[in-house]
Structure 1
Amino acid sequence: MPVIWKTRFRAVLIATFAMCIGAACSGGSGESLRILVSNDDGVGAEGIDLLVEALRAEGYKVVVSAPDGNRSGTSDWRGPSEFCGDLSVGTATTRSGYPASTIDGCPADAVAYGLEELFPGSPPHLVIAGLNEGPNLCEQLAGGVSGTVGAARTAARVGMPALAASQAAPSPGGHPDFPSGVDAVVAWVQE
């Protein structure tokens, strides 16, 4: 693998489950893109907050439906269960104060709730799960461990364009460079 590629993208892994191409996601006729955002780190996590703020700054209509706490490693499991919670719904805000729906459940539950309840009459054009803290490596994806990927798969299963995005730290014990991951996700949405 070329060093430039490693250097540029080693901290960002983005897995796409359904591509958002051209007018299929544009909303047509100048309508603002509607995006459901979720994650597996919980509504109070740094990654989802920075992503939501960046998408809002681009003028997209953002709705947040996320687990009420960290549910990493829950794949696309659905509750109620010991791991996913009792599926109670609440309200909260992201770190920056943006309103969000919270689910005492897994990321897949949060996406399902968002799709079924938060877009009456006008479904979102795109679902984004992330920005997850930590890598989602091949063995995690193939083994069905990632809650971030599970959230995107939940949307893709019902025909919704979806994107799962994760941001690893550049070194063990380091802090993820969320701004570079957010920039990559926003660039993908803009394409």
Structure 2
Amino acid sequence: MLSAAEVLASTMGVVAGERNTGMQRRGRAGPGLDEVPSPGQLMPGCLPAPVVHKPPAVADHSRGSVDDGSEQVDRIARSIPMQTAAQRLGAAGEQAAARFLAEHNYEVIDRNWRCPAGELDLVARAGNGQIVAVEVKTRSSKRFGTGFDAVSPAKYRRLNKLLILWAQAHQMFIAQLRVDVIEVYPSGSGFECQLHEEVSS
């Protein structure tokens, strides 16, 4: 974890060291998502993307999973108004990731926050109270590498910068910056999720 002061002092010129994948959690999550609170005050020129609310998934507490069936996954993905199959898959994966986080003691407080510097997929409050930038990487398979592999040192630094901008826009102070990465893969009964906590690079 980096402090906000360290990120601002280094701007974008930090030399990346060895990556730390942090703690990992695996699990299964369906594509549903309970309503997330509306974003607070935004920076000038920063607009949130519309949030698509879908009926909540049915939780299977015996397995610690949300199992909706592949037909419902396809139906929800098709209902999202995007042009390409990859975009529809990505949006459905973000819904599954948000559901997975909620089941693991996170509170999702913002989605798809955008400003001229970039976009944060999810902003969440972890169980210990930390505000976390969550990067969601949805892939159809691991054939060409994992979603986590796609998070480069430059991407990590940009996520830290965006988290600072998000905090400023919401008039919040974040003492320690934290980035989590969640990999999402379609499965026959929903989505498989793997969470990498407190990632550094």
Q: Say yes or no: TM over 0.5.
A: no
Structure with bigger strand share is 2
The two structures have a TM-score, normalised by structure 2, of 0.28
Structure with bigger helix share is 1
The two structures have a TM-score, normalised by structure 1, of 0.29
